[in-house]
Structure 1
Amino acid sequence: MKPSLDDLALLVTIADEGSFTAAAKTLGLPKSTVSRRLADLELLLRTSLFQRSTRALSLTDEGQRIYDMAKPSITAADDAARAIAEREQLVAGRVSLTTTAALGQYLITPHLIKLTAAYPDVQVELRLTERRVNIISDGIDLAVRTGTLDDSDLVARRLCKVKRLLVASPAYLAKAGVPVAPSDLASHNAIVISAALDSWRFDGGWECSMRWTIAAGNMLVAHQLARLHHGIALLPDFMLETDLDLGTLIHLLPEYPMEQADAWIVSSPQRYRSLAVQTVLNYLAGAKSGVSVGRH
């Protein structure tokens, strides 16, 4: 006769809790029942599973071997049962999501309006910042990022390709001239996001170090500076549709595409996510498929 999954779960719980009393509380059983069921399991297996003393309870060598084999199956069964039970419940809860101000305004917010209409008991707390937040230490559920992912321990889901354009206002170009090749950019005033991002790369690897007077801090301010004729900006195309249609900004060097990158939605590596977090993640990943996203 083989031990049942419940028998093995009893063994795992006693070992994890470290005492019969704690295991009984976790299982919702009398301590005497836990002791009796363990004795029955040891009789069935014809081996001692625990070494007992007045101060400690520890697995025997054979108990440890069985524990190591049983633990993954018990954990998987618990996760499956919890996931099934949660999916039968209402999708509800608060989800924290961090990204930049521009991504939040132009891309994330419109999708969140639709999401919360479909799931009215989900609350999404946006945390907009240009800083690369450590979502694990800061306790944040999700982040939308672009470019290289430095946090190797995060779980990342690819959203789309980044597409960025060089743009400037007609008034600026009338004064400073229209660049006809990447090498012409060196003589122009650039609008950079930060001092560290003063080198712009083209598809194929060609790189140009830009001269600048104002580091905008974020893409929204860089966009405004370009519209105020301050210089040439490198911006994601999702911010530029109206400007390009109206001629407020001009797309420069279209025959020299800028280097692209991937956009990601990332989460912590925890094995189990709440249904609300998983719902927001899946919704954004599906809604943003094929959309261009600007770089942090």
Structure 2
Amino acid sequence: MKPSLDDLALLVTIADEGSFTAAARTMGLPKSTVSRRLADLELLLRTSLIRRSTRALSLTDEGRRIYDMAKPSITAADNAAQAIAERERLVAGRVSLTTTAALGQYLVAPHLAKLTGAYPDVQIELRLTERRVNIVSDGIDLAVRMGALDDSDLVARRLCLVRRVLVASHTYLERAGTPVAPSDLAAHNAIVTSAALNTWRFDGGWECAMRWTIAAGNMLVAHQLARLGHGIALLPDFMLEADLERGVLIRLLPDYPMEQADAWIVSSPQRYRSLAVQTVLNYLVGAIEPVE
């Protein structure tokens, strides 16, 4: 049987500290345990390693030989453990985060300057796309998404409730008229983000298949088209606060709330995340107001 690294570290500590009492204090062990473990090591090696006296202790020739061989490895192990501990205390590294252009601009970006100010060694790489990215196969750390989550394997934390509202410009309403009930929407031009999302749903289950001429591709373009008077858009409330206050856009059918959605931040189900990834995740969860 060979001595373990812990056994050799015990011998090195006793020799460096110069007494069993000091070695026990350094290792956080009872003095009797240190003495017993050294005796076990000497029995294992079938040789005396330390000369004991009432005043001092010293290494035997065999003890000195083993000490000289073990000391560099023990020092290297201690240095590695210290480096790992220091790395864990230092939040650093690159974090990739994917989301849509609108969520990135309105929900995520406002918090990034403060986040990186608090953690200057963190780099956040945004990947804005309207495609639902597979973050596991694409090697992405985090994703911010809105609506139902398709992949149950992902770890998800709720960010906030997103209220979707119908809006249009004065120009469009003067030209096409103002709807006063959901049934009026069928006569209007809709601005949809994609051809597949032409059905608008209200709380309570009522829905309307909308007529459209432009599928905008994302909510930012849909927002711009609404401001230009192209038609009625269904957009998240977090995009519209300034336009509604200034009257650039008018909220429609306020007595008929649209179907709401949750915004989530999701990550892969891996057991261990880097400290940087965990820090960004926790920061965004805490910073984004959980509107109810």
With normalisation by structure 1, the TM-score equals 0.70
More displaced stretch, 115-124 vs 151-160:
151-160
Superposition pairs of residues 36-115 of structure 1, within 5 angstroms = 85=85, 88-115=88-115
Name the structure 2 match of 1:210.
210
> Following the alignment from structure 2 to structure 1, what is the Cα–Cα distance between the partners of residues 271 and 130?
28
> Following the alignment from structure 2 to structure 1, what is the Cα–Cα distance between the partners of residues 126 and 98?
6
Name the structure 2 match of 1:281.
281
> Following the alignment from structure 2 to structure 1, what is the Cα–Cα distance between the partners of residues 112 and 291?
15
Whether contact under 8 Å (2:91, 2:122) holds in the other structure is yes
Q: Does 1:200 align with 2:203?
A: no
Task: Using the TM superposition, give the Cα deviation of residue 89 of structure 1 relative to its aligned residue in structure 2, in angstroms.
Answer: 2.2
Closer, same or farther: CA 243–87 of 1 in aligned 2, 3 Å: same
Whether contact under 8 Å (1:167, 1:235) holds in the other structure is yes
Report Cα offsets for 1:164-204 as digits up to 9, x if no partner.
Answer: 11000011001100000000000000000000100000011
> Following the alignment from structure 1 to structure 2, what is the Cα–Cα distance between the partners of residues 121 and 88?
13
Tell me the secondary structure at the aligned position of residue 117 of structure 2: helix
Q: Does 1:150 align with 2:164?
A: no
Whether contact under 8 Å (2:167, 2:252) holds in the other structure is yes
Name the structure 2 match of 1:3.
none
In the alignment of these two chains, the number of paired residues is 216
Report Cα offsets for 1:11-50 as digits up to 9, x if no partner.
Answer: xxxxxxxxxxxxxxxxxxxxxxxxxx9xx9xxxxxxxxxx
Name the structure 1 match of 2:121.
121
CA RMSD of aligned residues (A): 2.2
> Following the alignment from structure 2 to structure 1, what is the Cα–Cα distance between the partners of residues 233 and 180?
16
Name the structure 1 match of 2:238.
238
What code does the residue aligned with 1:186 have? A
Structure 2: runs of 5 or more not aligned: 1-5, 7-40, 45-80
> Following the alignment from structure 1 to structure 2, what is the Cα–Cα distance between the partners of residues 147 and 190?
21
Q: Does 1:180 align with 2:166?
A: no
Whether contact under 8 Å (2:95, 2:276) holds in the other structure is yes
Closer, same or farther: CA 127–287 of 1 in aligned 2, 3 Å: same
Task: Using the TM superposition, give the Cα deviation of residue 289 of structure 1 relative to its aligned residue in structure 2, in angstroms.
Answer: 2.9
> Following the alignment from structure 2 to structure 1, what is the Cα–Cα distance between the partners of residues 86 and 285?
21
Name the structure 2 match of 1:221.
221
Task: Using the TM superposition, give the Cα deviation of residue 130 of structure 1 relative to its aligned residue in structure 2, in angstroms.
Answer: 0.3
Tell me the secondary structure at the aligned position of residue 104 of structure 1: helix
Tell me the secondary structure at the aligned position of residue 220 of structure 1: helix
> Following the alignment from structure 1 to structure 2, what is the Cα–Cα distance between the partners of residues 291 and 190?
27
> Following the alignment from structure 2 to structure 1, what is the Cα–Cα distance between the partners of residues 122 and 129?
22
Tell me the secondary structure at the aligned position of residue 273 of structure 1: coil
> Following the alignment from structure 1 to structure 2, what is the Cα–Cα distance between the partners of residues 281 and 159?
10
Structure 1: runs of 5 or more not aligned: 1-5, 7-36, 41-80
> Following the alignment from structure 1 to structure 2, what is the Cα–Cα distance between the partners of residues 193 and 187?
19
What code does the residue aligned with 2:181 have? A
Whether contact under 8 Å (1:86, 1:275) holds in the other structure is no
Task: Using the TM superposition, give the Cα deviation of residue 262 of structure 1 relative to its aligned residue in structure 2, in angstroms.
Answer: 1.2
Name the structure 2 match of 1:24.
none
What code does the residue aligned with 1:203 have? D
Task: Using the TM superposition, give the Cα deviation of residue 291 of structure 1 relative to its aligned residue in structure 2, in angstroms.
Answer: 4.6
Whether contact under 8 Å (1:179, 1:253) holds in the other structure is yes
> Following the alignment from structure 2 to structure 1, what is the Cα–Cα distance between the partners of residues 102 and 147?
15
Task: Using the TM superposition, give the Cα deviation of residue 238 of structure 1 relative to its aligned residue in structure 2, in angstroms.
Answer: 1.1
> Following the alignment from structure 2 to structure 1, what is the Cα–Cα distance between the partners of residues 146 and 179?
28
Task: Using the TM superposition, give the Cα deviation of residue 85 of structure 1 relative to its aligned residue in structure 2, in angstroms.
Answer: 3.0
> Following the alignment from structure 1 to structure 2, what is the Cα–Cα distance between the partners of residues 88 and 196?
46
Tell me the secondary structure at the aligned position of residue 208 of structure 1: strand
What code does the residue aligned with 1:181 have? A
Task: Using the TM superposition, give the Cα deviation of residue 207 of structure 1 relative to its aligned residue in structure 2, in angstroms.
Answer: 0.4
What code does the residue aligned with 1:246 have? R
Closer, same or farther: CA 211–86 of 1 in aligned 2, 3 Å: farther
Name the structure 2 match of 1:78.
none
Whether contact under 8 Å (1:135, 1:141) holds in the other structure is yes
Name the structure 2 match of 1:137.
137
With normalisation by structure 2, the TM-score equals 0.70
Closer, same or farther: CA 86–129 of 1 in aligned 2, 3 Å: farther
What code does the residue aligned with 2:132 have? R
What code does the residue aligned with 1:200 have? W
> Following the alignment from structure 1 to structure 2, what is the Cα–Cα distance between the partners of residues 162 and 200?
15
